[in-house]
Structure 1
Amino acid sequence: MRVFLCTLIQMIMWCGYSIVLFLSHHDHSFYETILLFMFGYFNFLVAQRLHLNKSIALNMTLSLTIIYITGKALIG
């Protein structure tokens, strides 16, 4: 149940990241990359806050980040 809740929260966070990118479409790609790492780290902290094992939290965060980046690249 904690893994499902963490996945749901991280998906909501990535939706928030998409909204932030949409609102700041004039920013350089460097700042978007820094923001990506900040959101990824925050998602990792949320996973740890839900008392998940560090390795599970890291694997879940990395896999959802890769899924988000792949989906963003495919959609445009």
Structure 2
Amino acid sequence: MRVLLCTFIQIVMWCGYSIVLFLSHHDHNFYETILMLMFGYFNFLVAQRLNINKSVALNMTISLTLIYVTGKMIIG
């Protein structure tokens, strides 16, 4: 149940990241990358805060980050 809740929270966080990118569309790619790393780290901290094992939290965060980046590349 905690993993499902964490997955939902991380999806909401990536939606928030998309909104931030939309509102700051004049930023350079470097700053967008730094912001993405910050959101990814924050998602990892949320997963750890929900008492999920570190390796599971890291795998879940990396998987959802890759899904987000792939979807962003496909959609445009």
TM-score by length of 2: 1.00
Aligned length: 76
**How many angstroms apart in 1 are the aligned matches of 2:21 and 2:64?**
18
1:27 paired to 2:30:
no
| Runs (5+) with no aligned partner, structure 2 | none
Consecutive unaligned residues in structure 1, runs of 5 or more: none
Structure 1 residues 11-58: Cα deviation after superposition (integer angstroms, max 9, x where no partner): 000000000000000000000000000000000000000000000000
TM (normalized to structure 1)?
A: 1.00
Q: CA RMSD in A?
A: 0.1
Aligned partner of residue 25 in structure 1, secondary structure: coil
Distance in 2 between the 1:50 and 1:16 partners?
20
Percentage identity across aligned positions?
80
